[in-house]
Amino acid sequence: MPVTTSPAPRPFYPAQLLAVSGRALAQLVRTPSHSRRAAAARKLARHSLWLSAAGAALVIVLMVAFDQTEIQLMPARGTPGLWPIRILTDFGKDEYLLIALGAALVVLALVAAGLHGTRRALLLGLGTRVQFLFLSIAVSALAAEILKYIIGRGRPFVGGKANPFNFVPFEGSGAYASLPSGHAVAAFALAFAVSALWPRLRVFMFTYAIVIVLTRLVLLAHHPSDVVAGALVGMVGAMAVRYWFAARRLGFAIRADGTIVPLPGAVSGRLKRVAHGASAP
């Protein structure tokens, strides 16, 4: 009489989802393991120092010599014909970028929890890269909010005059949150992070970031020195997050000289097969 075997029970989906989510979070705080992380840390410190010094010098020059002239050349705040610029500028708003990336992480976790083996590994690898993008913006935006509060620079024409030296430190209101520009922080953090993962997108992403900061100037939301400072904060913040990931062998490798390079990711064809497998009956 033939022996019938019952199929193996399917893993409990909520438990799988919890395991996938826990593993994704745990990898971010595990002990650094890369043997070359010290060289990468030295290179990060050196590059951050030079970038910060050059950026700070440019901010001061713009503040003294150009900010007042530039904001006087811009159209009046509230000009009706600027509505396309108001729509475009929202593509650099940190809240919207973080919501979009957070939603992508949730979707990836939901799908990966129902997969196994190579297909799950591919999606989790993509999820690690999305985590990097999310944290690059989040960490940079948090640093920017602290700086805004401490510096307290008035936005253009706050107080009724084109005064680039209108500072009320620790004021805490939106009117005195001009330096650094939050949109510039988010746009340049995202541009750097995407370019770090996919270098071929570098020109496109930094073009996007420049367009975003130009919209902030046209809308009289910021002075030129504000957006330069925001670009600086965004890039240094993303650089620090990249080092954090590389030191834990997440998405990046470290060369002998301390240079951080992206690990090869899943190619589009393999991702398409994963998506097809996930949706197949």
**Average of per-residue pLDDT values in the chain:** 90
Look at residue 2 and tell me whether its pLDDT is greater than 80: no
Banded model confidence at residue 274, pLDDT cuts 50, 70, 90: very low
| pLDDT tens per residue, range 86-98 | 999 999 999 999 9
- The per-residue pLDDT for 114 is 87
- The per-residue pLDDT for 265 is 60
* Separation CA 109–CA 106 (nearest Å): 5
Banded model confidence at residue 4, pLDDT cuts 50, 70, 90: low
- The per-residue pLDDT for 273 is 46
- Angle made by CA atoms 133, 134, 138, in degrees to the nearest 5: 120
Look at residue 39 and tell me whether its pLDDT is greater than 70: yes
The tokens for 121 are: 């590994």
Banded model confidence at residue 280, pLDDT cuts 50, 70, 90: very low
Q: Average pLDDT of 168-185?
A: 95
| pLDDT tens per residue, range 42-101 | 999 999 999 999 999 999 999 999 999 999 999 998 888 999 999 999 999 999 999 999
The tokens for 228 are: 């330069």
- Is pLDDT larger for residue 2 or for residue 28? 28
Look at residue 25 and tell me whether its pLDDT is greater than 80: yes
Banded model confidence at residue 267, pLDDT cuts 50, 70, 90: very low
- The per-residue pLDDT for 5 is 57
- The per-residue pLDDT for 278 is 42
Look at residue 3 and tell me whether its pLDDT is greater than 80: no
**Number of residues that this document lists for the chain:** 281
Banded model confidence at residue 270, pLDDT cuts 50, 70, 90: very low
Q: Average pLDDT of 210-219?
A: 97
- The per-residue pLDDT for 31 is 92
- The per-residue pLDDT for 6 is 53
Banded model confidence at residue 266, pLDDT cuts 50, 70, 90: low
Look at residue 247 and tell me whether its pLDDT is greater than 90: yes
Contact 211, 84 (CB under 8 A): no
Banded model confidence at residue 117, pLDDT cuts 50, 70, 90: confident
Q: Average pLDDT of 133-159?
A: 96
Encoded amino acid at 251, one letter: G
Which segment of 42-46, 115-119, 190-194 scores lowest on mean pLDDT?
115-119
Q: Give the per-residue SS3 of the chain.
A: CCCCCCCCCCCCHHHHHHHHHHHHHHHHHCCCCCCCHHHHHHHHHHHHHHHHHHHHHHHHHHHHHCHHHHHHHCCCCCCHHHHHHHHHHHHHCHHHHHHHHHHHHHHHHHHHCCCCHHHHHHHHHHHHHHHHHHHHHHHHHHHHHHHHHHHCECCCCCCCCCCCCCECCCCCCHHHCCCCCHHHHHHHHHHHHHHHHCHHHHHHHHHHHHHHHHHHHHCCCCCHHHHHHHHHHHHHHHHHHHHHHHHCCCCEEECCCCCEEECCCCCHHHHHHHHHHHHCC
